[in-house]
């Protein structure tokens, strides 16, 4: 059998090189390990060795040739058994995609009818069903009033009672009951082996938590705030987020990274950032950013039960707000589903986290202007529920995005892209984004207020897309 | 006021100047090599404390060098694991297989069958002997140079080659760089391209095992260069704080690509000594002495299983080949280093030990080497039927979208359908 000797890649990035010297000639017998040629790149000179035994047939690329592409046939060789060298093929271009496709499918067939049927099924699902809906709350269910802080604590406590693999770790989560008291009472109920105080190293306990998740537990890692999790981002993105994929589906990392995110009050530039867009850009992570207590509880419970790593973004300013929440034994909500918080017909305001409160405030002000706004809470940032967004756009034909965060490469940018790509025909005005100013957040109260999003700015943008500004 | 670059014009310019230190390896290309200043200890002369001793009792061993195999090829002293000849022959054969595997894969890369490969030549004992001292289901979090662990655990060669070729047989579905193996069934965690992330993960896994009341321990391997990463220090801290049942193996092969161990702090202290400061039991062993590697790992495993805490082991060895297929070591270090390395070659030393015991001979060694090469060759041929890099024998295209999440979300299913449709339109003949 004739073997083709191809221009080797000496490094993953090498695309071409110089065939500096042939150390064999046509007709020479070579053995495994013999040096056949010297190859040069801008970085190094390397020896090209024979892997198999045989006789050199035709040398196709003469020595001294520069810019020889990796993978180009440089010589032929008769293999073991001593068959005659094959006739010299012409210089061969790297495999074309068509050839690759053919080879791939001949080996791993994917018959067209199946693919078509599959596609139809997806389209059906997308257009008619979309992502899962919230479960119906049974009629007559009592409501109770709780803070977001309590809702989050209750979610953790319920899941810890339900599944002994669930535990919480982080700075000050046990004895101190949490820097923002979100873990209040957990140490008393579950003890120090399931509510674990850690050394002050976010990088360390993000890695420890990832390892514990790989080891079969269900860690909830609390960051005192997500501002401190920047040093932990390598474990969140590169380890937790990619383990399932990189192991070919063998290994899982079911972990929840949670804590307050976004600007609080008077904590300055380093402690006032929204990481929603950062994490939402990463395949493999689920990113949740709820607003009210019922969503906080239902989604945190879903996050803890998820087999995927979840980044759960809370908001310090919202912790103390009270909301009605259905008094159910097991209130779990679907991940990846937005919610229409207030229906309306004139303009859609898309938001998440603390922005939802501001949007509702804006919607109230807009009533006075005679504008009936629909407010959508995205709740989950990845995967993003674009169906709900597009449905609303089809109804109102006007949209703005309100986001407590920077404008560039934001969730707003993403929503606008979706509206352009899939909702263009429904748009009666450009989609506008209302965000924080594009500066590190100042400390001084007056400057801080000027830099942050507020309901008046949302009102102004809504009026503008309604051509009422 | 004019300030000259020499400091003239600045107050105090004539004070004694500070000097700046940049570590420099002893030998560069072309230099004659002299390792006589390396302190090579007498085999068998190191004390072996009880496995449950206080961590501080191991402090002298962190600055010593535990050795078992002597110049006479005999096993000496309290660290001799006293393994039976069959076990020793098995150890030798796995090490020989590892070497044969490296040889062929390296040449395969030179032929363009894959883009990248990393040999572990000269360091086989640090993974093979160490892995044999662990239980088969103890979880390992290796770095990229521990292919010996997979071979010791009986992972099929063809699976390794399929992964390296990224072909349709690749269990990792073409998603990982060559040699970044992963096998849940062999308790072998996915190798990370980001250095040292596996160290806190191993500690976390071990803590989880303890929390669950399991009996399995964890072990991790990291190069001496990567101990500079914050991960390693966080791992040491958590291991000691929570008394994790974990073994932190530091393979000191002297070189991190072209940076010698001095750039990771090796000029000032041993790598084992880092454990002492954390209150972790710390051992420094001759990494080219398979029996010493086995004995140290076994000591640490017993300690972890007895809930006596973590152990840091520095395997003092030498990287006999380049860092990977992408670098040329003759450009940055003396070629003589390998031949002059005073701790010899781990395969040769174990072979000579078996011969000295009367349990082996040169003919059998020759046959072993030949058989190993043939075994690798046969596996390679078999794997090549599944394709080599760039030859198009891939997994079905749809798999690219799988395993991003536990369940395929609708938005990825939609992307997959669109991508497949576009391929059908662009290349209808396919």
Q: How large is the ipTM?
A: 0.80
* Tokens read off for A158: 């319920």
Instruction: Calculate the alpha carbon distances from B376 to A141, B122, B156, B220, B326 in Å.
Output: 67, 19, 10, 27, 23
> Measured between beta carbons, which residues in chain B are less than 8 angstroms from residue A33?
103, 107
Tell which B residues from 376 to 405 touch A, by Cβ distance under 8 Å.
Answer: 387, 390-398, 402-405
Residue B164 main-chain phi, psi, to 5 deg? -65, -40
Which residue of chain B comes nearest to A208, CA vs CA?
A: B204
Determine which helix (DSSP H) or strand (DSSP E) holds B362, and give its type and residue range: helix B362-384
**Quick one: pLDDT band at residue B10, thresholds 50, 70, 90?**
confident
Residue A421 is among the residues annotated as catalytic for this protein: no
Q: For the CA atoms of chain A, what is the radius of gyration?
A: 30
* Tokens read off for B11: 């107050």
Structure confidence at residue B184 (pLDDT): 96
> Measured between beta carbons, which residues in chain A are less than 8 angstroms from residue B142?
none
**Quick one: pLDDT band at residue A101, thresholds 50, 70, 90?**
very low
- Lowest mean pLDDT of A69-78, A100-109, A304-313, name the range: A100-109
Residue A235 is among the residues annotated as catalytic for this protein: no
**Quick one: pLDDT band at residue A17, thresholds 50, 70, 90?**
confident
Give residue-wise pLDDT tens across range A64-75: 999 898 888 898
Work out the average pLDDT over B407-419. Answer: 89
User: What is the Cα–Cα distance from B169 to B386, expressed in whole angstroms?
Assistant: 6
User: What is the Cα–Cα distance from B316 to B296, expressed in whole angstroms?
Assistant: 12
CB within 8 Å: A118 and B139: no
Structure confidence at residue A97 (pLDDT): 37
Considering A267-271, B57-61, B328-332, the range whose residues carry the highest mean pLDDT is B57-61
Structure confidence at residue A51 (pLDDT): 73
Contacts of B233 (CB under 8 A, 6+ apart): none
**Quick one: pLDDT band at residue B6, thresholds 50, 70, 90?**
low
Checking if the pLDDT of B55 tops 90, the result is yes
Structure confidence at residue A213 (pLDDT): 97
Cα angle, residue B308 at apex, residues B303 and B310 outer, rounded to 5° = 70
Structure confidence at residue B299 (pLDDT): 98
Give residue-wise pLDDT tens across range B104-125: 999 999 988 999 999 999 999 9
CB within 8 Å: B235 and A238: no
Structure confidence at residue A33 (pLDDT): 73
Cβ of residue B271 closer than 8 Å to a chain A Cβ: no
Q: How much of chain A exceeds pLDDT 70, in percent?
A: 86
Checking if the pLDDT of A14 tops 80, the result is no
CB within 8 Å: B182 and A247: yes
Q: To the nearest whole number, what is the mean pLDDT of chain B?
A: 94
Select from B190, B204, B211 the Cβ nearest to the Cβ of A243: B190
CA distance B26 to chain A (A): 23
**Quick one: pLDDT band at residue A81, thresholds 50, 70, 90?**
very low
Structure confidence at residue A49 (pLDDT): 78
Structure confidence at residue A11 (pLDDT): 67
Which residue of chain B comes nearest to A96, CA vs CA?
A: B392
Cβ proximity of A77 and A51 under 8 Å? no
Work out the average pLDDT over B316-323. Answer: 97
Structure confidence at residue A123 (pLDDT): 43
CB within 8 Å: B404 and A98: no
Bond before A59 cis per omega within 30 degrees: no
Give residue-wise pLDDT tens across range B306-315: 999 999 999 9
Q: How far is CA A132 from the centre of its chain?
A: 19
Checking if the pLDDT of A92 tops 80, the result is no
Give residue-wise pLDDT tens across range A163-172: 999 999 999 9
User: What is the Cα–Cα distance from A80 to A82, expressed in whole angstroms?
Assistant: 5
According to DSSP, the residues that pair with A312 across neighbouring strands are A258, A288
User: What is the Cα–Cα distance from A308 to A319, expressed in whole angstroms?
Assistant: 25
Which residue of chain A comes nearest to B194, CA vs CA?
A: A238
Structure confidence at residue A91 (pLDDT): 42
- Lowest mean pLDDT of A115-129, A171-185, B206-220, B280-294, name the range: A115-129
Q: pTM of this prediction? A: 0.82
Structure confidence at residue A3 (pLDDT): 79
User: What is the Cα–Cα distance from B380 to A35, expressed in whole angstroms?
Assistant: 20
Give residue-wise pLDDT tens across range A410-454: 999 999 999 999 999 999 999 999 999 999 999 988 999 999 999
Cβ of residue B192 closer than 8 Å to a chain A Cβ: yes
């Amino acid at each position: 059998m004739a073997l083709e000797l191809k221009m080797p890649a000496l490094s993953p990035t090498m695309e071409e090189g110089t065939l500096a010297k042939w150390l064999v000639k046509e007709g020479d017998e070579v053995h495994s390990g013999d040096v056949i040629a010297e190859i040069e790149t801008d970085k190094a000179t390397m020896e090209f060795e024979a892997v198999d035994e045989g006789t050199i047939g035709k040398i196709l690329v003469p020595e001294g040739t520069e810019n020889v592409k990796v993978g180009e046939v440089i010589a032929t060789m008769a293999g073991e058994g001593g068959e005659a060298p094959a006739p010299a093929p012409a210089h061969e271009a790297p495999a074309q995609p068509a050839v690759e496709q053919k080879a791939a499918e001949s080996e791993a067939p994917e018959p067209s009818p199946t693919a078509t049927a599959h596609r139809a099924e997806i389209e059906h699902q997308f257009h008619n069903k979309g992502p899962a809906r919230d479960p119906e709350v049974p009629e007559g269910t009592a409501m109770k009033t709780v803070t977001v802080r309590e809702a989050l604590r209750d979610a953790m406590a319920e899941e810890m009672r339900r599944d002994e693999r669930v535990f919480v770790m982080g700075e000050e989560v046990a004895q101190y009951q949490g820097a923002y008291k979100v873990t209040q009472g957990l140490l008393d109920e579950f003890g120090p082996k399931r509510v674990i105080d850690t050394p002050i190293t976010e990088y360390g306990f993000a890695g420890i938590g990832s390892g514990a998740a790989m080891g079969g537990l269900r860690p909830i890692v609390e960051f005192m705030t997500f501002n401190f999790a920047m040093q932990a981002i390598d474990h969140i993105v590169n380890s937790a987020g990619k383990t399932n994929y990189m192991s070919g589906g063998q290994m899982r990392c079911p972990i929840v990274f949670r804590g307050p995110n976004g600007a609080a009050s008077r904590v300055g530039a380093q402690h006032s950032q929204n990481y929603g867009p950062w994490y939402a850009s990463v395949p493999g992570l689920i990113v949740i950013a709820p607003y009210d207590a019922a969503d906080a509880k239902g989604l945190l419970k879903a996050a803890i039960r998820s087999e995927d790593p979840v980044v759960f973004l809370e908001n310090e300013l919202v912790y103390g707000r009270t909301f009605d929440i259905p008094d159910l034994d097991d209130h779990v909500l679907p991940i990846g589903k937005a919610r229409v918080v207030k229906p309306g017909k004139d303009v859609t305001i898309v938001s998440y986290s603390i922005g939802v409160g501001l949007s509702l405030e804006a919607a109230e002000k807009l009533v006075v202007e005679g504008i009936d706004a629909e407010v959508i809470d995205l709740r989950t940032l990845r995967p993003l529920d674009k169906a709900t967004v597009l449905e609303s756009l089809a109804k109102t034909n006007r949209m703005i995005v309100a986001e407590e965060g920077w404008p560039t490469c934001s969730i707003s940018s993403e929503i606008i892209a979706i509206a352009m790509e899939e909702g263009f025909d429904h748009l009666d005005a450009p989609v506008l984004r209302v965000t924080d100013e594009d500066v590190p957040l100042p400390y001084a109260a007056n400057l801080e207020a000027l830099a942050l999003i507020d309901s008046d700015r949302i009102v102004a943008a809504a009026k503008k897309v309604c051509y009422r500004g | 006021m004019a300030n000259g670059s020499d400091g003239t014009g600045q107050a105090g310019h004539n004070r004694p100047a500070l000097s700046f230190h940049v570590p420099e390896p002893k030998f560069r290309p072309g230099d004659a090599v002299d390792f006589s200043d390396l302190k090579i200890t007498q085999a068998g002369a190191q004390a072996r404390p009880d496995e449950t001793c206080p961590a501080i009792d191991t402090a002298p061993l962190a600055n010593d060098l535990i050795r078992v195999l002597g110049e006479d090829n005999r096993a000496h002293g309290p660290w001799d694991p006293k393994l039976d000849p069959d076990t020793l022959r098995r150890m030798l054969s796995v090490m020989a297989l590892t070497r044969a595997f490296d040889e062929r894969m390296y040449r395969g890369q030179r032929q363009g069958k894959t883009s990248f490969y990393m040999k572990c030549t000269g360091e086989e004992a640090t993974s093979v002997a160490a892995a044999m001292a662990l239980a088969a289901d103890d979880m390992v979090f290796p770095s990229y140079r521990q292919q010996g662990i997979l071979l010791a655990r009986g992972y099929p060669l063809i699976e390794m080659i399929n992964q390296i070729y990224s072909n349709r047989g690749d269990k990792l579905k073409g998603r990982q760089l060559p040699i970044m193996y992963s096998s849940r069934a062999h308790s072998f965690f996915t190798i990370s391209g980001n250095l040292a992330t596996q160290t806190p993960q191993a500690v976390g896994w071990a803590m989880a095992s303890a929390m669950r009341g399991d009996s399995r321990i964890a072990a991790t391997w990291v190069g001496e260069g990567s101990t500079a990463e914050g991960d390693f220090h966080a791992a040491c801290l958590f291991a000691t704080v929570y008394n994790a049942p974990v073994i932190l193996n530091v393979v000191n092969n002297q070189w991190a690509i072209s940076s010698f161990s001095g750039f990771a702090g090796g000029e000032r202290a041993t790598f084992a000594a880092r454990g002492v400061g954390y209150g972790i039991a710390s051992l420094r062993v001759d990494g080219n002495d398979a029996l010493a590697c086995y004995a140290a790992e076994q000591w640490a495993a017993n300690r972890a299983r007895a809930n006596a805490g973590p152990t840091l082991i520095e395997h003092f060895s030498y990287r006999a080949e380049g860092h990977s297929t992408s670098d040329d070591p003759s450009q940055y270090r003396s070629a003589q280093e390998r031949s002059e390395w005073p701790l010899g070659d781990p395969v040769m030393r174990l072979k000579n030990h078996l011969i000295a015991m009367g349990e082996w001979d040169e003919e059998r060694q020759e046959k072993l080497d030949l058989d190993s090469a043939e075994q690798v060759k046969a596996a390679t041929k078999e794997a090549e039927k599944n394709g080599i890099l760039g030859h198009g024998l891939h997994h079905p295209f749809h798999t690219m979208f799988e395993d991003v999440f536990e369940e395929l979300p609708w938005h990825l299913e939609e992307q997959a359908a669109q991508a497949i449709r576009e391929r059908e339109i662009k290349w209808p003949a396919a």
